[in-house]
Amino acid sequence: MKIVMLGAPGAGKGTQAKKIAEEYGVPHISTGDIFRANIKNNTPLGQQAKIYMDKGELVPDELVVSLIMDRFDEPDCEKGYVLDGYPRTIPQAKALDKALEDNGEKLDYAIDVDVPDEVIIDRMSGRRACLNCGATYHIVNNPPKTESVCDACGNELVQRDDDKEETVKNRLDVYHDQTEPLKQYYADAGVLYTVDGTKEMEEVFKSICSIVE
């Protein structure tokens, strides 16, 4: 099962991708999480990515594509995967198609989690993230059991550097400009499905399950 999650920053791609991964036993691959882990460990990749991420800009395609191609070589990807935050540009989508084609495979579903910009701003300001395992929470909509502590791994929860309001606005602009055209790209390929991302998390998840089943 190979799934791409589409949607604006803060639409709930990560939240839903984690659930899909658990339910269907495929790895959840978030390019954003991989970059944040590299920033935390101060690797050369992290140092490069940080320059773009802090401004809400996209990391250059060549960096992202080589990272994701390496990830596909890991043995857990044999069962498929749910991609969260990749692809984000048409060239990235084409690179994915090419990699799939070379293996005689194809993408099964591109699921667009649809949420209007106004709702996004509120979600981002309340979000708290675990930089260890990638889990996300919301101080009102989805709080952790203990304040500032990750339910899944016990790590401290933090506000992401790029969740400041000005940066969020730029991320939304970048999304509409560079990523939203992927909806048409995947509609043309016949694999686009849209879910209403403003519903409760469990409801959104049910809609996704009914598509995937």
Site map (CB under 6 A) of ligand AP5, residues 49-68, x = contact: ---xx--xxxx----x----
CB 92 within 8 A of CB 186: no
Is 127 noted as a catalytic residue in this protein?
yes
Q: Could you give the CA distance from residue 179 to residue 33 in angstroms, rounded to a whole number?
A: 18
CB 71 within 8 A of CB 34: yes
The DSSP secondary structure of 69-82, one letter per residue, reads: HHHHTSGGGGG-EE
Give the number of residues in contact with Zn ion, rule: CB under 5 A. Answer: 8
Task: Among 1, 51, 69, 152, indicate the residue that binds Zn ion (CB under 5 A).
Answer: 152
Three state DSSP letters for 163-200: HCHHHHHHHHHHHHHHHCHHHHHHHHCCCEEEEECCCC
Is 88 noted as a catalytic residue in this protein?
yes
Count CA within 13 A, CB hemisphere, residue 108.
Answer: 12
Is 128 noted as a catalytic residue in this protein?
no
14 binds Mg ion (CB under 5 A): yes
Q: Which two tokens stand for residue 26?
A: 């495929």
CB 100 within 8 A of CB 2: yes
Q: Choose from Zn ion, Mg ion, ligand AP5, none: what does 130 bind? Cβ within 5-8 Å by kind.
A: Zn ion
204 binds ligand AP5 (CB under 6 A): yes
* Closest-approach residue to ligand AP5 (CB): 32
Is the Cα dihedral 142, 147, 152, 158 positive or negative?
A: positive
Query: What phi and psi, each to the nearest 5 degrees, are found at residue 204?
Result: -60, -45
Catalytic position from the list 160, 164, 169, 199: 160
Q: Least distance (Å) from ligand AP5 to the CB of residue 85?
A: 3
134 binds ligand AP5 (CB under 6 A): no
Q: Least distance (Å) from Mg ion to the CB of residue 82?
A: 12
13 binds ligand AP5 (CB under 6 A): yes
Neighbours of 12 (CB within 10 A): 28
Q: Least distance (Å) from ligand AP5 to the CB of residue 170?
A: 9
7 binds Mg ion (CB under 5 A): no
Is 123 noted as a catalytic residue in this protein?
no
Task: Among 1, 51, 69, 153, indicate the residue that binds Zn ion (CB under 5 A).
Answer: 153
Q: Annotated catalytic sites, by residue? A: 13, 88, 127, 160, 171
Residues that bind Zn ion (CB under 5 A): 130, 132-133, 135, 150, 152-153, 155
Residues that bind Mg ion (CB under 5 A): 14
